[in-house]
Chain A
């Protein structure tokens, strides 16, 4: 049932039948019950689903913050499911750019320093680092806010810093978790325009959201329900989303 608008790039994410169980006391929660998903380079995909659908678990899995209980997960041809913590950290550092709902910037560091952070962990020398960070900050339109700290920036600007931080390592995918959730709708639209721009420039974007208004920007939509993929299709079909978004 996997269909994709334009599988133009090589395969980045190849998930086959992964499950994830959490043991909570005596009970075992099956967060994912066998999900298969393939994402190619330069795709723009929205992952939707009500809470409890396994959306967050899948996102953590895609973001290499967690490993599946069973199943196969290959990232750029490398088997993630069997990686140790350090290898996962390296993948997160070089291949994945996170954008969070709450921005998650370091409050005491300037925009520049925040954007430099992934490069520091990548072991890149200070001069190159500054150059790269400055470049992406210009790209997201914050060339004049590089030495501002998060509390001196508006919500939209903070999210732009976060996007710049996600972009700076030239990752294979950008993984955005409700990126507009803490923004007013106008600013949210600006951020979505930024994502559109990034998409047009060839970035791969995975958007995790429960908002249809946001999900419509993606070129492919995956609906999750009860730990399984319900639908996976090109574009956005509002009628189905109404069903998918009903709160349990």
Chain B
């Protein structure tokens, strides 16, 4: 029997019970959707990371108290890092001095995550969610920002702890819709600042706006918001790619000196590089993938059992039909193929729908995260193969039962 005929028969039988077929399909769709969604989103992120997104400026390495994916390790791990000494401004300054002449840019930065920064100007307000950073002129280079206009923070600003700020594009848009912010004095969480520069637009990265930065001299930051319980991150850019490893080694030594570590003590700080951030991301992606796999697997097995159940019901209901088909010359394998085709069709249709929804969903996430959309061919093909396997695997027994029916008994069935 031709494939086309088998498919036609399967479709016509399924068409008689559209709702039942559709409901059975949904299980498969959910299973495939969840894995394809996650894999599309992760694939899109991975793709953009591999093709150039940088967490840090080029060649930059960074020292910090906490590792990147602190939440991935569980409570004990978290505690261990929380108990670590903060990197104080003093230590950071020591590092800065030690590294003079060994790096093209050294950025000290302290994030005021606790501040709920809200800027106010002339009756206009930003949401209380600005990223307030006390830093120096190195921030732009170290974090791959560019200045839009005005000027960057300079060494003098830091030395004199001036009340100046460089603001992100988002703040500019909100507070200065019709005028230039340069030279204007705005209020931010209890203190006033003169805007000296505006960052170029950067968009969103990993769902977090990069345009709500409020940069001020690190010295002013500590004066206004205190130094206690704050830890400084230190980013260093070597003179050249060739000098990267040497500079990193020097940096680690300088950091150990600044932290006052003895020779037998381990580093009590984390080293971030673009590579380490990538691998940290990939670790998280791996955990998420495994989670998605488990969910998908459970959903698909449940859906497969659903298919088997519905096919068994179908075989019983259509016993007479099977008898008729056999009496007019259908061989057992024709019957087997027909029922198998129905199971595979349900499974594949559910799978294709799941793939479409998953890719669309995953790519919407990708768009939201401002990375290029992808079509995960590998996963889509794997999805189709798995669906065929489910259709055949769970459809085989009912189809076998149908094929094995005795034509006389089947004809007599009412």
Tell whether A and B belong to one assembly: yes
Seen from chain A, the residues whose Cβ lies within 8 Å of a Cβ on chain B are 60, 63, 65-66, 85-86, 89-90, 92-94, 98, 100, 104-106, 108-109, 117-118, 120-123, 165, 169
For residue B174, CB closer than 8 A to chain A, the reply is: no
Q: Is the pair B327, A120 in contact by a Cβ cutoff of 8 Å?
A: no
- Nearest residue (CB) in A for B328 is A118
The winner among B1, B323, B324, B330 for most chain A CB atoms within 10 A is: B324
Q: Is the pair B408, A98 in contact by a Cβ cutoff of 8 Å?
A: no
The winner among B331, B333, B334 for most chain A CB atoms within 10 A is: B331
Q: Is the pair B321, A106 in contact by a Cβ cutoff of 8 Å?
A: yes
- Rounded to whole Å, the gap between the CB of A81 and the closest CB of chain B is 16
For residue B151, CB closer than 8 A to chain A, the reply is: no
- Rounded to whole Å, the gap between the CB of A142 and the closest CB of chain B is 18
Chain A residues lying within 8 Å of B2, measured Cβ to Cβ, are 123
Chain A residues lying within 8 Å of B321, measured Cβ to Cβ, are 106
CA A123 – CA B407 in complex, angstroms? Answer: 21
For residue B169, CB closer than 8 A to chain A, the reply is: no
CB contact under 8 A between A66 and B329, given known A121-B334, A123-B2:
no
For residue B137, CB closer than 8 A to chain A, the reply is: no
Number of inter-chain CB pairs below 8 Å: 64
Sample of 21 A–B contacts (CB below 8 Å) = A65-B326, A65-B407, A85-B332, A90-B329, A90-B331, A92-B327, A92-B328, A98-B327, A98-B328, A105-B324, A106-B321, A106-B324, A108-B13, A117-B325, A118-B328, A120-B1, A121-B330, A121-B331, A123-B2, A165-B328, A169-B329
For residue B228, CB closer than 8 A to chain A, the reply is: no
Q: Which of A89, A100, A105, A108 is close to B326, meaning CB atoms less than 8 Å apart?
A: A89
Q: Which of A66, A85, A121 is close to B1, meaning CB atoms less than 8 Å apart?
A: A121
- Rounded to whole Å, the gap between the CB of B63 and the closest CB of chain A is 73
Q: Is the pair B331, A120 in contact by a Cβ cutoff of 8 Å?
A: no
CA A93 – CA B13 in complex, angstroms? Answer: 22
Q: Is the pair A65, B408 in contact by a Cβ cutoff of 8 Å?
A: yes
Q: Which of B1, B329, B330, B334 is close to A94, meaning CB atoms less than 8 Å apart?
A: B329
CA A106 – CA B326 in complex, angstroms? Answer: 13
Number of residues from B at the complex interface, CB < 8 A: 24
CA A32 – CA B329 in complex, angstroms? Answer: 25
- Nearest residue (CB) in A for B327 is A98
Chain A residues lying within 8 Å of B5, measured Cβ to Cβ, are 120
For residue B245, CB closer than 8 A to chain A, the reply is: no
Q: Is the pair A117, B408 in contact by a Cβ cutoff of 8 Å?
A: no
Given A92-B326, A104-B323, list of 14 further CB < 8 A pairs? Answer: A60-B408, A65-B407, A86-B331, A89-B332, A92-B327, A100-B324, A108-B12, A108-B13, A108-B16, A109-B12, A121-B328, A121-B329, A121-B330, A165-B328
Q: Is the pair B408, A66 in contact by a Cβ cutoff of 8 Å?
A: yes
- Rounded to whole Å, the gap between the CB of B61 and the closest CB of chain A is 70
CB contact under 8 A between A118 and B411, given known A108-B12, A123-B1:
no
The winner among B1, B2, B323, B407 for most chain A CB atoms within 10 A is: B407
- Rounded to whole Å, the gap between the CB of B400 and the closest CB of chain A is 14
- Nearest residue (CB) in A for B404 is A85
Chain B residues lying within 8 Å of A104, measured Cβ to Cβ, are 320, 323-324, 327, 411
CA A30 – CA B15 in complex, angstroms? Answer: 44
- Rounded to whole Å, the gap between the CB of A177 and the closest CB of chain B is 9
